[in-house]
Structure 1
Amino acid sequence: MSVPQPPEPIPGARLLFSLDPAVSHLNHGSFGAVPISVQRAQQRLRDEMEANPLRFFTQGLVDRVAHTRRHLATFIGADPDGTALVSNATTGVAVVLQSLGLRPDDEILSTDHGYGAVALSIQRECRRTGATSRVLPVPLAATNEEVVQAVRDALRPGRTRLLVIDQLTSSTARLFPAAAIVAVAHEHGVPVLVDAAHVPGMLPTTVTSIGADFWVGNLHKWAFAPRASAVLVVAPQWRDRIEPLVVSWEQEAGFPDRLEWQATQDYTAWLAAPVGVFTLRSLGVERVRAHNARLAAYGQRVVGDALGVAPELLPEPGGPEVAMRLIPLPPALATTIDAARALQQHIAERLATEVAVMSWNGRGWLRLCGQVYNRADEYERLAVRLPPLLAQR
């Protein structure tokens, strides 16, 4: 089986970022990378804020945030009136959980592909309310039909108060059939929270077509926005029940203002987020998506080959559109979260390469991403240097 060819670099794209050229940044999915133009836009907003803080916060800021929200909601195909800006997807999840009014007989159902911080948030809310958390195992190679059936079988109408699923998982780069899962859950009267942290910018999506009760997505990962930029989309029947984690002066204004207004927080990341979307569109949204997915697939193959992983054993749970790929590590490596973090740091220090190392279901996985600032030779160098490093451990 031949190795897939890498895409042609997008001319000039690498120069849009201020990343350290001495490091290979192959882990865009964790914290993203902010283009220089977006950094400068945010700095101009900070300069405006510091020139006259009272005017910045009291004269039109609520309207400016609302205008930004409408722009970003349009980008993801969401209802602007049902969209609120939040700092990150995990914050949006916490807002939803504490707004549900859980009781001791309730349960929250999630899958074993969920993001670690989201799982911790669920556990905390269950401890606080007496509710129960139940985790549904889903095999990495399960078909979409098998995933939907597993969810259908796991639902407990009358007890399952919320189903939490990922649209695209962080730990396993698995793309779930979100709309089909939502439809099945709604047949049983169960509301659904979709964690789509990696979706905005990477994948084409229309949030309204998914039909979820709650949908959260980060803009700072694949949409080139400054960090602390994300959206929470809420279905109409839930909006009056959404409460902020901290009450401030827009509390009586209702959703989404009551959620967005948090007094003296730094709003410049939100206000500069449309510049990130503009940058993505300037490069060509579809062009960037195709480039990144193809580059990640190339990186997976060359590194996988170097580690002795047969091509048929390289998972592709996200499909050809996903710009994150997994490579199984030797069985003894990264079998715990702490071991995975230690190995990730070791690779960064010894190979000057930033990757994600995951521990999922007792197995270590290397997650590689593709972005417009990456080049094929970065994955090729990793393929040469990684096997002897792993052999030492």
Structure 2
Amino acid sequence: MTIPAGKPPEPLRGARLLFSLDPAYAHLNHGSFGALPIPAQRAAARLREEQEADPIRFLKPPGVVERVTHTRRHLARFVGADPDGTALVPNVTAACAIVLGSVPLRPGDEILLTDHAYGAVVVEAKRRCAETGAVLVRAMVGLDATDDEIVAAVSAAVTERTRVAVIDQISSATAKLFPIRRIATELHRRGVYVAVDAAHVPGMIDVDVSSLGADAWFGNLHKWAYAPRGTGLLVVAPEHRSGVRPLVASWEYGNGFPRSVEFQGTQDLAGWLAAPAGLHTMTTLGLDVVRDHNARLARYGQRLLTESLETEPVPTAPELAMRVVRLPDGAVTSESTAVRLRERITTELRTHVAVSFWNGAGLLRLCAQVYNRAGEYERLAATLPGLLRRG
């Protein structure tokens, strides 16, 4: 069924009751830290109780290895990845550090990012450059680029010195979907190692990692897949697995990837082991139902805000539940003014959103999740112009 233009989707019955979010705020920023459904909260709590009842039995091999392996296989299948080439990690920032630390680099080699790269990825790339003498190169894609223009911009930034590229699948600040398969094909033709930052992919859109052709792919499940925070996946192609260097060479180092990455001392594994409970909640609601609802509601909110602020619309892939709106000229002029505006929206409008200063312009990012309602976006659209006029 097609929703008429300008009309939001119907709320999913009972979905809002699955979350324990503070009703005093409109939570329109799911993409930053996610929100854990109550069944997954309870699963994690039970696992922590089990752990504290007998920490030695809970954390000692072989039992803990078997449980983590079972969980990893379940989560890998959800994203269409080879379980034997997938490791559980705390987040994509850690995964990116592992990947960049595993690619041999010499002075003058180049690491390629785009202008949409997440800030922590940029920081890690700069650190790796400082360690190795490599050079950081940015492909300037822009906000309104088509798929053809994205591929052309990334390809144009590749030189004979490019060794590794980290490309977003869905960018964080700009909510842009990149044509990863086409980019990987083009960059492999030129001998470049392709790593994909898919922080926002698991749960938001359907993905088959094995078909993308990337050398490495990493995504968070605690954003859109209802998993406890600190749950991410790192997928590595077969030809690169033996060269993976974990951040810490702990007791499982000799067992190779993925165990060398997964077992890093006395970390709390309850969140990882509870992740399937979050996926179960989503599949019970219906994967397609959740994704369709969220994408339609995000589109509705983006349209309302764009119209109320009288700014140019930002093209967005229809399947995304995370979208950006251009702010009026002068509303945000620096990173610090972006932070101040976000805090004002939180305190004065009782609404959580993300605000960024990107390529000289202010962007407001909206998300939609099953606990959201159309009225939350309508209230923001009605009140935000006045807040901006007050300066």
On whether the aligned pair clears a TM of 0.5, the verdict is yes
**Aligned letter for 1:254?**
G
Alignment of 1:94-173 (within 5 A): 94-157=97-160, 159-173=161-175
Question: Per-residue deviation at 1:358?
Answer: 1.4
Partner of 2:326: 328
Correspondent of 1:377 among 375, 378, 382: 375
Q: Distance in 2 between matches of 1:54 and 1:150?
A: 53
Identity, % of aligned positions:
57
1:41 aligns with 2:43: yes
Q: Distance in 1 between matches of 2:44 and 2:344?
A: 33
Question: Per-residue deviation at 1:105?
Answer: 2.0
Say which SS state the counterpart of residue 125 (structure 1) adopts: helix
Correspondent of 1:248 among 242, 250, 263: 250
Partner of 1:316: 315
Question: Which runs of structure 1 show a deviation greater than 3 angstroms over 4 or more consecutive aligned residues?
Answer: none
The 8 Å contact of residues 110 and 134 in structure 2, kept in 1 or not, is answered as yes
**Aligned letter for 2:356?**
M
Partner of 1:6: 8
> What's the CA shift string for 1:44-82, capped at 9, x where partnerless?
000000001111111500111011000000000000010
Question: Per-residue deviation at 1:4?
Answer: 1.9
Correspondent of 2:197 among 190, 195, 198: 195
Range moving further from structure 2, 265-274 or 100-109: 100-109
The 8 Å contact of residues 4 and 297 in structure 1, kept in 2 or not, is answered as no
1:185 aligns with 2:201: no
Partner of 2:87: 84
Partner of 2:230: 228
Partner of 2:58: 56
**Aligned letter for 1:207?**
V
The 8 Å contact of residues 137 and 157 in structure 2, kept in 1 or not, is answered as no
The 8 Å contact of residues 115 and 142 in structure 2, kept in 1 or not, is answered as no
Q: Distance in 2 between matches of 1:254 and 1:296?
A: 42
**Aligned letter for 1:331?**
D
Partner of 1:352: 350
Range moving further from structure 2, 7-16 or 137-146: 137-146
Partner of 2:284: 282
1:392 aligns with 2:390: yes
Q: Distance in 2 between matches of 1:161 and 1:25?
A: 40
Question: Per-residue deviation at 1:3?
Answer: 5.2
The 8 Å contact of residues 141 and 154 in structure 2, kept in 1 or not, is answered as no
The 8 Å contact of residues 334 and 340 in structure 1, kept in 2 or not, is answered as yes
The 8 Å contact of residues 35 and 226 in structure 2, kept in 1 or not, is answered as yes
The 8 Å contact of residues 95 and 242 in structure 1, kept in 2 or not, is answered as yes
Partner of 2:275: 273
Partner of 1:214: 216
Q: Distance in 2 between matches of 1:302 and 1:220?
A: 28
Give ranges in structure 2 of 5+ residues lacking alignment: none
Q: Distance in 2 between matches of 1:368 and 1:150?
A: 27
Question: Per-residue deviation at 1:226?
Answer: 0.3
Say which SS state the counterpart of residue 179 (structure 1) adopts: helix
Partner of 1:291: 293
Question: Per-residue deviation at 1:316?
Answer: 2.0
Normalised to the residue count of structure 1, the TM-score between the two structures is 0.97
The 8 Å contact of residues 3 and 301 in structure 1, kept in 2 or not, is answered as no
Say which SS state the counterpart of residue 45 (structure 2) adopts: helix
Question: Per-residue deviation at 1:153?
Answer: 2.0
The 8 Å contact of residues 3 and 302 in structure 1, kept in 2 or not, is answered as no
Q: Distance in 2 between matches of 1:348 and 1:246?
A: 39
Aligned length: 387
The 8 Å contact of residues 107 and 161 in structure 1, kept in 2 or not, is answered as yes
Question: Per-residue deviation at 1:139?
Answer: 2.0
**Aligned letter for 2:361?**
R
Say which SS state the counterpart of residue 388 (structure 1) adopts: helix
Question: Per-residue deviation at 1:113?
Answer: 0.5
**Aligned letter for 2:214?**
A
Q: Distance in 1 between matches of 2:185 and 2:100?
A: 21
**Aligned letter for 2:306?**
G
Q: Distance in 1 between matches of 2:333 and 2:5?
A: 29
**Aligned letter for 1:325?**
R
Question: Per-residue deviation at 1:380?
Answer: 0.7
The 8 Å contact of residues 138 and 157 in structure 2, kept in 1 or not, is answered as no
Question: Per-residue deviation at 1:154?
Answer: 1.7
The 8 Å contact of residues 72 and 86 in structure 2, kept in 1 or not, is answered as yes
Q: Distance in 2 between matches of 1:142 and 1:385?
A: 31
Say which SS state the counterpart of residue 166 (structure 2) adopts: strand
Partner of 2:78: 75
Question: Per-residue deviation at 1:125?
Answer: 0.8
Q: Distance in 2 between matches of 1:301 and 1:370?
A: 13
> What's the CA shift string for 1:190-211, capped at 9, x where partnerless?
1100000000000111000001
Say which SS state the counterpart of residue 6 (structure 2) adopts: coil
**Aligned letter for 1:114?**
A
Question: Per-residue deviation at 1:304?
Answer: 1.7
Q: Distance in 2 between matches of 1:337 and 1:281?
A: 38
Normalised to the residue count of structure 2, the TM-score between the two structures is 0.97
**Aligned letter for 2:211?**
S
